A = this chain, B = another copy of it.
């Protein structure tokens, strides 16, 4: 069946791009892994870049079901959801002996050419991630100081995840990852404490 062949190609491309990178994955690698033939692949994807674009669209479309839902299963506390997401990347690192973490981040630094369509999809993937985390911080409502920018805090969270994954991959251990996430925990805890104090002051004010 045609759809099956296409799915197999895209699935193996997703896997191989994540494991070996885009440049280091040859079309021959994808053909061998998927069991498809050259003619079939080029029937669906005229160029290798078209296949990359499809892979990035899949990541984008799958962020809720493939990434967030499994990470957030059984959780309701919005702040815990943020750290559960970061724990999901930690699991990915553990499961691969710190060989890879975030496929989008790896591709983002590998693609050096302008490649506007590729870069736009990488950016959209980042934006989807940031928006999901931002929703958590918004749900945390009064637990955070009202004057801190939730969008900026979400960007900061992505920044830390990507930088921490990079170091884990380089050192092949989780020390820098854990230290970085612990620092973010500390920062969020300080924000919560600051919000609580100002609320206490406010309540004090109401009582006078």
Query: Inside 8 A of A20's CB, which chain B residues have their CB?
Result: 112
Per the bound structure, the CA–CA distance linking A126 and B176 in Å amounts to: 11
| A57 contacts chain B at the CB level, 8 A cutoff | no
Residues in A1-53 with C-beta less than 8 Å from chain B: 19-21, 23-24
The 0/1 profile, CB within 8 Å of B marked 1, for residues 150-166 of chain A is 01110110111111101
Is A108 in contact with chain B by the CB < 8 A criterion? yes
A180-B106 Cα distance, complex, nearest whole Å: 19
Contact with B along A175-200 (1 / 0, CB 8 A): 11001101110110010001000000
Number of copies of chain A assembled together: 2
Distance to closest chain B CB from A161 (angstroms):
7
B170 contacts A159, C-beta separation under 8 Å: no
The tally of residues in A whose CB lies under 8 Å from a CB in B reads 49
Complex partner residue of A187 from B109, B112, B162, B187, CB under 8 angstroms: B187
Q: Which residue of B lies closest to A109 (CB)?
A: B109
Among A24, A151, A160, A184: residue with most chain B CB under 10 A: A160
Is there contact, CB below 8 Å, between B152 and A183? Answer: yes
State the 6 A-B residue pairs at the shortest beta-carbon distance, nearest first: A163-B163, A159-B163, A162-B163, A156-B183, A152-B179, A159-B180
